[in-house]
Amino acid sequence: MESVTSRFLRYAAINTASEPESKSSPSTARQLDLSRMLKDELVELGAKDAELDEYGYVYAKIPATVSGAPKLGFVAHVDTSPDASNKGVKPRIIEKYDGGGITLNDERSIVMSPSEFPELADYIGQDLIVTDGTTLLGADDKAGVAEIMALCELLLSPDAPPHGELAIAFTPDEEVGRGTAHFDVERFGAEFAYTIDGGKLGEIEYENFNAASAKVFVNGVSIHPGTAKNKMKNAVLIGMEFNSMLPAAQTPATTDGYDGFYHITSIVGEVEHCKLGYIVRDHDKSLFEAKKERLRAIERYLNEKYGEGTVSVEIKNSYFNMKEKILPHMHLIETAKSAMVESGVEPLIQPIRGGTDGANLSFMGLPCPNLSTGGHNFHGRFEYIPVQSLEKMVEVMRRIVEKYSAAK
């Protein structure tokens, strides 16, 4: 069988960056390069009903070898973040990491330092897959893809442990918030599932942010600065005033754990027009709604101050905290915990300071918490994943499958 590491290295070399401004599904055609490969590999392995639909979703079934087991699913996304270069990814393995700085690119003097990334100390003696310092690695979420594919090969082999039917899906566009836009829960056919899309080995996540995006539009009045007194309305200054009215202690750089935040992602403009982009996050639903109301309250205040129509705010919900949908199915969390313990992995249950396809899937009727891939420093040049974590996650998923197969 092909190792999970070999699979990951092959998949990581394919540029699958998604595009937030694209209106197509998938947002980029290059994602299909990997999706087609996965569909073909599933067919070759002997998966049932393997198909790639018109939106870039790959679906397949692993036939049951025992009857009566619940239908379990695993999901990962093929796209990678557009936040860093995806062109010419060149992963390499640092064997038996010695605990020192890792020179990613000697020519450009790019070094991953344990003083900056102290969690590297946890992996001394292990084999680390790293970048060449010019691109991201793509472990988010090609590590999850490789781990699921390695599990599929194992369960379709002659030596497979007894198991129920398994549903597999690989989605596009998770990184731009559209990973479940065309997901067909009925076609997928599972009773419940896990996304394999987390970070450090051992993570189990069933709480995530409630999330919204916001756009603030400011309309100003341009007058020659020599005669502008009491006439000019500088849209850029009003935009800055809008931002100054948000709590300074509620930004990503000042919060952690269950704390929510406002995050300004862009500001562009001139005297007559200014546009600000935000994302709004909170685990608590009432605090989430209060944050959105604060944006509307600032809009009302500035329109009273500068005239109606000066400021307009558009808010769009992105996803909600899956906790309420997982609580009735806590067997998913307990099963994952026991599978990790039996695999020699310490479970780490924590809230996601972000989102996951599993959140939307849970609200679509498919309870779907998130499990680790083993990777670190996603979306940038210092991304890495230990080979041993890739291998261990395949073992964890195998044990999960075996536990549900025995629960028939």
Q: What is the mean pLDDT of the chain?
A: 96
Mean pLDDT of 115-127: 97
Here the tokens at position 30 are 């290059």
Residue 66 in contact with residue 57, Cβ under 8 Å? no
Task: Decide which of 319, 350, 370 is a domain's last residue.
Answer: 319
> Is the domain of 249 the same as that of 222?
yes
Name, in order, each residue with C-beta under 8 angstroms of 200's C-beta and a sequence gap of 6 or more: 119, 348, 372, 374, 375, 376
Task: Decide which of 289, 319, 349 is a domain's last residue.
Answer: 319
Instruction: Give the domain range for residue 146.
Output: 4-207+321-406
What pLDDT is stored for residue 211 in this prediction?
Answer: 93
Mean pLDDT of 252-274: 96
CATH code: domain of residue 118: 3.40.630.10
Chain segment 11-36, per-residue pLDDT in tens = 999 999 999 989 999 999 999 999 99
Quick check: 55 pLDDT over 60? yes
Residues paired with residue 105 on neighbouring β-strands, in sequence order: 110
Reported as a pLDDT band with limits 50, 70 and 90, residue 1 is confident
Mean pLDDT of 175-202: 96
Residue 317 in contact with residue 177, Cβ under 8 Å? no
Measure the CA–CA gap between 353 and 345, rounded to whole angstroms: 22
Quick check: 191 pLDDT over 70? yes
Quick check: 50 pLDDT over 60? yes
Quick check: 408 pLDDT over 60? no
Residue 256 annotated in active site: no
Mean pLDDT of 389-405: 97
Reported as a pLDDT band with limits 50, 70 and 90, residue 352 is confident
Reported as a pLDDT band with limits 50, 70 and 90, residue 65 is very high
Quick check: 354 pLDDT over 90? no
Reported as a pLDDT band with limits 50, 70 and 90, residue 355 is confident
Q: Which of 41, 79, 165, 299 is catalytic?
A: 79
What pLDDT is stored for residue 171 in this prediction?
Answer: 98
What pLDDT is stored for residue 318 in this prediction?
Answer: 87
Mean pLDDT of 242-267: 96
Q: At what angle do helices 235-244 and 285-306 cross, to 10 degrees?
A: 140
The count of C-alpha atoms lying within 13 angstroms of the C-alpha of 270, restricted to the half-sphere facing its C-beta, is 3
Measure the CA–CA gap between 214 and 127, rounded to whole angstroms: 42
> Is the domain of 120 the same as that of 78?
yes
> Is the domain of 82 the same as that of 181?
yes
Mean pLDDT of 373-385: 96
What pLDDT is stored for residue 407 in this prediction?
Answer: 66
Quick check: 181 pLDDT over 60? yes
Chain segment 281-311, per-residue pLDDT in tens = 999 999 999 999 999 999 999 999 999 999 9
Q: What is the number of structural domains in the chain?
A: 2
What pLDDT is stored for residue 356 in this prediction?
Answer: 82
CATH code: domain of residue 279: 3.30.70.360
Q: Which of helix, strand or coil describes residue 44?
A: helix
> Is the domain of 264 the same as that of 326?
no
Residues paired with residue 52 on neighbouring β-strands, in sequence order: 58
Chain segment 308-329, per-residue pLDDT in tens = 999 999 999 988 999 999 999 9
> Is the domain of 243 the same as that of 201?
no
> Is the domain of 149 the same as that of 259?
no
What pLDDT is stored for residue 326 in this prediction?
Answer: 97
> Is the domain of 314 the same as that of 240?
yes
> Is the domain of 35 the same as that of 170?
yes
Residue 92 in contact with residue 188, Cβ under 8 Å? no
Task: Decide which of 319, 342, 359 is a domain's last residue.
Answer: 319
Reported as a pLDDT band with limits 50, 70 and 90, residue 353 is confident
Q: Which of 132, 140, 165, 174 is catalytic?
A: 174
> Is the domain of 279 the same as that of 376?
no
Residue 272 annotated in active site: no
**Percentage of the chain lying above the pLDDT 90 cut:** 95
> Is the domain of 140 the same as that of 97?
yes
Q: How far separated are the first and last CA of the chain, in Å rounded?
A: 29
> Is the domain of 272 the same as that of 187?
no
> Is the domain of 155 the same as that of 52?
yes
Residues paired with residue 130 on neighbouring β-strands, in sequence order: 92, 384
